[in-house]
Structure 1
Amino acid sequence: MTAPGRIPPCADHHDARGFRNPHDPTIRTLRDVWRWRREAVPAPWPDRIEDPPQPPPARLGPGRIAATFIGHASFLLQIGGRCVLVDPVWSKRASPLPFAGPKRVRAPGQRLADLPGCDLLLVSHNHYDHMDLPTLRAVRQRWAPPAATGLGNARHLAKAGIHAARELDWWQHVELAGLRITYVPAQHFSARTPWDRNRSLWGGFVIEAIDAPLGACVYFAGDSGWCPFFAEIGRRFPRIDLALLPIGAYAPRFFMRTQHMDPDEAVMAHRALGARRSIGMHFGTFAGLTDEPIAEPVEWLARARAEQGLAEEAFVTLPFGATLELPAGA
């Protein structure tokens, strides 16, 4: 682990200037941005979708794993008898501005107050659709859980009153709340302003129950393009019970390819990981974040499963607010 604010040099993915992707750079020029704005034909999204209410999740014992889909990339995970909030976002916009930026068209699938607890908080990277300071502040005020994130991100969490977040480099781990948390690589980038691009690290998490009798392992990808990291994570963690994989925000492809998987690539990632089950995420929540139609990621995932010979139950999407529960280590 690294002290908050210190970025060690000389790794394959960072130096004194910041962080980088070792496999496929996600550098985007102003010309790329102008091309997107000039050629884009964003699909229309509805102003609002009302999802059927789901029962609040109950706290489970150590023999069960559960994932409750809040929306976009926000989940309540239950593993080893602990409740873990990952990338929680309850705000109306994924933006630094309350009046502009990607706007929520679906309410969070569960109210924060209805969750059974939060023993640990994980934040994958600093983009506004994953790191929402008002929500993080509310989580701290309600539960004050320990927190873990990537290098360079603790300074942001401190603005939400979270002053002891553990910063991790790729492949580093820490034990918190009876769980072993490993920060694993992803192919993406970071920025909260035009002036801090790639000054903090992005990644995913592997969460393992230390004292669960049958063992339990959950992988949360964060944001990532398709890359060799998935196979490497699968080699290092050969028993992933549940993987949470992004399937949306992939259009236009020329612009998003290196940083966001499409559903075909998400199925490839599921196979590369060797995961027992997967849940799709990062879709259908914030208008203005991507150009694809709101329903396309889920429809495409169904086609990708069939074309790649994957059973329907192996890689699913959940209704907003719904919970998938399975036995640990079965």
Structure 2
Amino acid sequence: MAARKRAANRYYSGPPSDHFDGTLFFNPDGKPPGRFLDLLKWQLNGERSKWPPASPSPFPRAKPVPRIDGRALQVTMVGHSTLLIQTAGLNILTDPVWSERASPFSFAGPKRFNPPGIAFESLPPIDLVLVSHNHYDHLDLATLKRLKAMHDPLVVTPLGNDTIIGSAVPGMRLSTHDWGGKVGVGHGVVIHLEPAHHWSARGGRDRRMALWASFVLETHAGNIYFAGDTGFHDGINYRLMAQKHGGFRFAILPIGAYEPRWFMEPQHQNPQEAVQGMKLCNAAYAAGCHWGTFQLTDEPIDEPPEKLNLALDDNGIPRERFRALRPGEVWTIPEIERR
């Protein structure tokens, strides 16, 4: 028994499960986030790399077409974990962040090193938004308010995040699910919510009160996997995805915010682990995200793509199959043989 009674969960109330103890969510057979003293040890280690004042993308801002139909699949990098997926007549955004900072404050916190790869006004009609968890670099309420006003998309998100979004963005259409849940969104597309090895918090008193997740998009163009934000977790979740869904035409996998490993390893995989994840989940093509836009950890800004290429070479995987996308970069994903 804890010496002090835990605060009630402010976001979600439901029965215990293999990843919810009745108050807090957790990673089954996994590792919890670091303690406050560990955070201080990291912040005071003096090993934080100096990033340049800005890191503009070599690609111009993209102007996506309104719709892409059939089995064609096109993705456009906006920045960090925000990508536009266009297929089957649907326009889908992952973890949309157009704000200048990934922070609860407009004047402090991680600031963008490059502008979004699509100007907000140039977005095509947005049908669907996937929000993987509630950290500020993934759940940006200011952006969701803008999306509600201009596009009124459906937001699919794991348990508890609906409370956060719904209270800040009245009338936003929300579809909230546990791991293993699924929802049909039209055009023959089904969204599955699946495990990720991570955690959640908006402040110091709500740790693990909302769930985190990855997403599988089951489409006529093939399966798409958005891993959200995740540690490698011995590849357990990647193996589960291959077993459950049979493989993927395309995967979006995080490759950044991984140093120092003693602190970040449970929650952020590194590029070498991302390549292993690509292999384990049986993805034909993959895009690296979660790097180069916000400085969250210690590694240099250009290290993730360099280490990604080395890991691909070491595993005999052609570099064109797993690309560290930059803002504004557009990629038409090749078709693969139907399964």
Q: Same fold (TM over 0.5)?
A: yes
Unaligned runs of 5+ in 1: none
**Residue 37 of structure 1 corresponds to which residue in structure 2?**
43
Match among 82, 87, 94 for residue 102 of structure 2: 94
**Residue 125 of structure 1 corresponds to which residue in structure 2?**
133
Residue 176 of structure 1: CA displacement? Answer: 1.6
Query: Which deviates further from its counterpart, 224-233 or 25-34?
Result: 25-34
**What is the root-mean-square deviation of aligned Cα atoms in Å?**
1.6
> Per-residue CA shift, 1:229-255, capped at 9, x if unaligned?
111011111131100000000011111
Residue 324 of structure 1: CA displacement? Answer: 1.0
SS at match of 1:299: helix
The separation in 1 between residues aligned to 2:171 and 2:271, in whole angstroms, is: 35
**Residue 8 of structure 1 corresponds to which residue in structure 2?**
14
SS at match of 1:165: strand
The separation in 1 between residues aligned to 2:273 and 2:94, in whole angstroms, is: 22
Check if 1:85 corresponds to 2:75: no
The separation in 2 between residues aligned to 1:39 and 1:193, in whole angstroms, is: 23
**Residue 302 of structure 1 corresponds to which residue in structure 2?**
309
Query: Which deviates further from its counterpart, 241-250 or 48-57?
Result: 48-57
**Residue 147 of structure 1 corresponds to which residue in structure 2?**
155
Q: Residues 55 and 99 from structure 1, CA distance in 2 versus in 1: closer, same or farther, beyond 3 angstroms?
A: closer
Check if 1:286 corresponds to 2:294: yes
Corresponding letter in the other structure for 1:202: W
Contact 2:33 2:267 in 1 (8 A): no
Corresponding letter in the other structure for 1:169: D
The separation in 1 between residues aligned to 2:284 and 2:328, in whole angstroms, is: 22
Unaligned runs of 5+ in 2: 1-9
Corresponding letter in the other structure for 1:195: R
> Per-residue CA shift, 1:156-203, capped at 9, x if unaligned?
111123543111101110112432010110000000010110000001
The separation in 1 between residues aligned to 2:306 and 2:206, in whole angstroms, is: 36
Contact 1:7 1:151 in 2 (8 A): no
Residue 308 of structure 1: CA displacement? Answer: 1.7
Check if 1:172 corresponds to 2:181: yes
Instruction: Work out the number of aligned pairs and report it.
Output: 322
Match among 259, 262, 265 for residue 273 of structure 2: 265
TM-score normalised by structure 1 residue count = 0.94
Residue 273 of structure 1: CA displacement? Answer: 0.4
TM-score normalised by structure 2 residue count = 0.91
Check if 1:105 corresponds to 2:113: yes
SS at match of 1:68: strand
**Residue 224 of structure 2 corresponds to which residue in structure 1?**
218
Residue 5 of structure 1: CA displacement? Answer: 5.4
The separation in 1 between residues aligned to 2:270 and 2:82, in whole angstroms, is: 19
> Per-residue CA shift, 1:216-275, capped at 9, x if unaligned?
211101100002011101111113110000000001111100000000000000001000
Q: Residues 136 and 177 from structure 1, CA distance in 2 versus in 1: closer, same or farther, beyond 3 angstroms?
A: farther
> Per-residue CA shift, 1:257-303, capped at 9, x if unaligned?
0000000000000001000100000000013x111100000101011
Contact 1:136 1:160 in 2 (8 A): yes
Match among 48, 52, 55 for residue 49 of structure 1: 55
Identical residues among aligned pairs (%): 38
